[in-house]
């Protein structure tokens, strides 16, 4: 670069030689230098930068020695370059020697390997064959392991399924049993291939193992059910799983339910007897037999205990069969509950019969009948109609109590008819009527408070009213048969009013109330007619009224009849005018005996309308 810069410097012309304007070298160089654009000449810029590193003083001497300085500097650089490349050359020669040595070594190893390969060629072939055979054997081993894993049980699973008699059942047992079922189903695939013999052998093996497992499971479940004889039992999850597994064996499943029902039946019977005679723990609650003096509470406590026990037994069965998904589970539950509760039917029936046959009274019998009807409806809602014995027992007691109740009402009615009382002097209801109405009121009050279904209550209501009201009406009619017309009508209005007042407080009485109202109105019409006859007689118009009613045209004028002359008519009309000015003066005494102010007011209104 220094040489390039020196070569580009202008040559100095010799002194004394003329220079041509266009051919002077110096001029040409100067022009060239002046025309050069340094910003585009990178080489010139680099040369000037290199020159600036050692050309620090611009003097004549330095300018004259510049070429030599550049040459010396170039020489020094070349010497340094030679020195450095000499070291590189020596290193390369050393590497070349090493490479040569390595090459010789590799050639030696290659020749030795070639010789060894020639010597071990047979061994390599054998090794290759053995490796291929090993791969095939490994593949067969994997297939065999997969086959065994899919179609065979492990020793632990076999021990679980075949365990000893006293060994308990755990959840692992059901996992192993599930594996047996799965293998039994999967082995059908083999029967569709060339491995039919293996498939048949495996299927037979799994079938035998299944039977052994189900037999062991059934024995264990049977023993577990036999231990559930406490009043309250806890259904373990393992027992629930056992019932879910036994559903595949309907016979064993049914036997297990029967075993459970037998165990729980004895527990329920024992619990019922204890509740009757011993009561709860520590004497609370008290024994039910201690309330035998109160028939309604006595029977109610027994039925309430039985209702609670029935619901509890159903819950136990639902807990035990909650994993069973076959059809008919609900029917199985109801059937077993019916079997469990069948044991308490006899002691329950004996005690209720003793209470009913003792005839504690019509009202109490009716309450007992409604109570039995309610619990029959409630228990049937829990267990359906499959608990036939229990529901039949409750229904029999209901019908018995109902029969004795209506017998009691019929007996009471027959006593009324056997000894008919005369009406009292005030023409009010007789004591027998009041007593019977009080009895009817108590019966109907207990009927309204009962919790039996509405349709059953209405049917009973109609029967009760027919059994009581009809004899009452007949008794009142017979009692008033010997009275005068006005007295009879007054007595009947008072008696009917008392009946109507009693029935108005209760439901399902609309038809009877309407009938009683019609009868009251009929007897009021009779009273109005009697009052009119009484007034006509007292006013002297009775003969005149009858004559006018019975007169015929062929008899001649009315004035020709006796006491029909103008004077007699004037006297009678004057008396009638005095009555109209003070109508209360000619009211019958019987009207004062009317018990109802409403009826009395209705009578006076209707009577006044007819008079005017």
Spatial distance between the Cα atoms of 51 and 47, rounded to a whole number of angstroms: 6
Give the max Cα distance, the chain.
212
Q: If we measure between CA atoms, which residue out of 301, 183, 133, 169 comes closest to residue 244?
A: 169
Least confident of 39-48, 243-252, 592-601: 592-601
Instruction: Give the Cβ contact number of residue 354 at 10 Å.
Output: 12
| pLDDT tops 60 at residue 427 | yes
CB 519 within 8 A of CB 492: yes
Of all residues in the chain, the percent with pLDDT exceeding 70 is 80
| pLDDT tops 50 at residue 20 | no
Average per-residue pLDDT for the chain: 79
Q: Kindly give, in sequence order, each residue whose CB lies less than 8 Å from that of residue 13, ignoring residues fewer than 6 positions away.
A: 19, 24, 25, 26
- Which tens digit of pLDDT belongs to each residue from 366-414? 889 889 988 888 888 887 766 678 888 999 999 999 899 888 888 888 8
pLDDT (mean) for 175-197: 75
Answer whether 0.75 is exceeded by the pTM.
Answer: no
Cα distances from 468 to residues 168, 395, 412, 421, in angstroms, run 68, 25, 9, 17
pLDDT for position 254: 92
- Which tens digit of pLDDT belongs to each residue from 127-168? 889 999 999 998 988 887 777 777 777 777 777 777 776 678
| pLDDT tops 90 at residue 556 | no
- Which tens digit of pLDDT belongs to each residue from 86-99? 999 999 999 999 99
pLDDT (mean) for 58-71: 80
Cα atoms found within 13 Å of the Cα of residue 32, Cβ hemisphere only: 11
Cα distances from 122 to residues 112, 134, 521, 546, in angstroms, run 17, 18, 136, 160
pLDDT for position 18: 46
Which alpha helices (DSSP H) does 231-344 contain, by range? Answer: 237-246, 250-277, 295-320, 329-341
- Which tens digit of pLDDT belongs to each residue from 464-501? 888 888 888 888 888 888 888 888 888 888 888 888 88
Cα distances from 195 to residues 140, 188, 198, in angstroms, run 16, 10, 5
pLDDT for position 154: 78
pLDDT (mean) for 436-461: 73
- Label residue 10 by pLDDT band (50, 70, 90): very low
Least confident of 17-21, 160-164, 236-240, 594-598: 17-21
Least confident of 58-67, 109-118, 553-562, 591-600: 553-562
CB 558 within 8 A of CB 564: yes
The single residue listed with the structure tokens 């029959």 is 376
Identify how many contiguous H helices and E strands the chain contains and give both numbers.
Answer: 23, 0
pLDDT for position 553: 62
- Which tens digit of pLDDT belongs to each residue from 195-251? 667 778 777 877 788 888 888 889 889 898 888 888 778 888 889 989 988 888 889
pLDDT for position 378: 87
CB 468 within 8 A of CB 409: yes
225-259 per-residue burial string, b: 16 or more CB within 10 A, e: under 16:
beebeeeebebeebbbbbbbbbeebeebbebbbeb
CB 493 within 8 A of CB 523: yes
DSSP for 302-323, please give it.
HHHHHHHHHHHHHHHHHHHTTT
pLDDT for position 549: 57
- Which tens digit of pLDDT belongs to each residue from 322-376? 888 888 888 888 889 888 999 999 999 999 999 988 878 888 888 898 899 888 8
């Amino acid at each position: 670069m220094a040489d390039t810069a020196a070569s580009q410097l202008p040559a100095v012309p010799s002194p004394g030689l003329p220079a041509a304007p266009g051919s002077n070298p110096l001029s040409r160089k100067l022009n060239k230098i002046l025309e050069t654009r340094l910003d585009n000449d990178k080489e010139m810029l680099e040369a000037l930068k290199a020159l600036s590193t050692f050309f620090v003083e611009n003097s004549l001497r330095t300018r004259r020695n510049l070429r030599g300085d550049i040459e010396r500097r170039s020489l020094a650089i070349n010497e340094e370059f030679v020195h450095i490349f000499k070291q590189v050359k020596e290193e390369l020669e050393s590497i070349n020697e090493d490479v040569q040595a390595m090459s010789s070594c590799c050639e030696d190893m290659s020749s030795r390997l070639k010789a060894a390969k020639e010597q071990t060629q047979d061994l390599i072939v054998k090794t290759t064959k053995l490796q291929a055979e090993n791969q095939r054997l490994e593949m067969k081993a994997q297939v065999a392991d997969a086959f065994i894993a899919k179609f065979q049980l492990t020793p632990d699973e076999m021990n679980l399924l075949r365990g000893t008699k006293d060994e308990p059942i755990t959840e692992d047992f059901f996992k192993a049993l599930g594996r047996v079922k799965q293998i039994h189903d999967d082995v059908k695939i083999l029967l569709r291939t060339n491995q039919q013999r293996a498939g048949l052998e495996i299927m037979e093996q799994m079938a035998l193992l299944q039977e052994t497992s189900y037999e062991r499971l059934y024995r264990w479940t049977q023993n577990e059910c036999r231990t559930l004889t406490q009043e309250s039992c806890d259904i373990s999850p393992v027992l629930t799983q056992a019932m879910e597994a036994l559903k595949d064996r309907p016979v064993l499943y049914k036997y297990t339910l029967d075993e459970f029902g037998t165990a729980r039946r004895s527990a329920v019977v024992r619990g019922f007897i204890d509740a009757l005679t011993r009561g709860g723990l520590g004497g609370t609650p008290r024994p039910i037999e201690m309330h035998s003096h109160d028939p309604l509470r006595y029977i109610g406590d027994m039925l309430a205990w039985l209702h609670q026990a029935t619901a509890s037994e159903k819950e136990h069965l639902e807990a035990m069969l909650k994993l069973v998904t076959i059809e008919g589970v609900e029917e199985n539950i109801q059937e077993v509950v019916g079997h469990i509760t069948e044991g308490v039917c006899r002691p329950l029936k004996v005690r209720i019969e003793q209470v009913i046959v003792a005839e504690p009274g019509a009202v109490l019998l009716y309450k007992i009948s409604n109570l039995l009807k309610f619990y029959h409806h409630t228990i049937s809602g829990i267990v359906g109609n499959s608990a036939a014995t229990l529901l039949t027992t409750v229904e029999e007691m209901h019908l018995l109590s109902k029969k004795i109740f209506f017998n009691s009402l019929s007996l009471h009615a027959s006593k009324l008819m056997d000894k008919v009382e005369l009406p009292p002097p005030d023409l009010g209801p007789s004591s027998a009527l009041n007593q019977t109405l009080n009895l009817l009121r108590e019966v109907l009050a207990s009927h309204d408070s009962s919790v039996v279904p509405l349709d059953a209550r209405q049917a009973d209501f109609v029967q009760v009213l027919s059994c009581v009201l009809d004899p009452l009406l007949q008794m009142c009619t017979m009692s008033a048969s010997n009275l005068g017309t006005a007295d009879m009508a007054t007595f009947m209005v008072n008696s009917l009013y008392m009946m109507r007042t009693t029935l108005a407080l209760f439901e399902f009485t609309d038809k009877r109330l309407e009938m009683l109202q019609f009868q009251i109105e009929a007897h009021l019409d009779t009273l109005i007619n009697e009052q009119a006859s009484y007034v006509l007689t007292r006013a002297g118009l009775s003969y005149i009224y009858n004559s006018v009613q019975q007169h015929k045209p062929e008899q001649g004028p009315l004035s020709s009849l006796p006491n029909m002359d103008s004077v007699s008519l004037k006297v009678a009309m004057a008396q009638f005018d005095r009555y109209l000015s003070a109508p209360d003066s000619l009211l019958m005494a019987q009207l004062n005996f009317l018990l109802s102010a409403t009826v009395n007011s209705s009578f006076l209104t209707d009577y006044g309308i007819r008079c005017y």
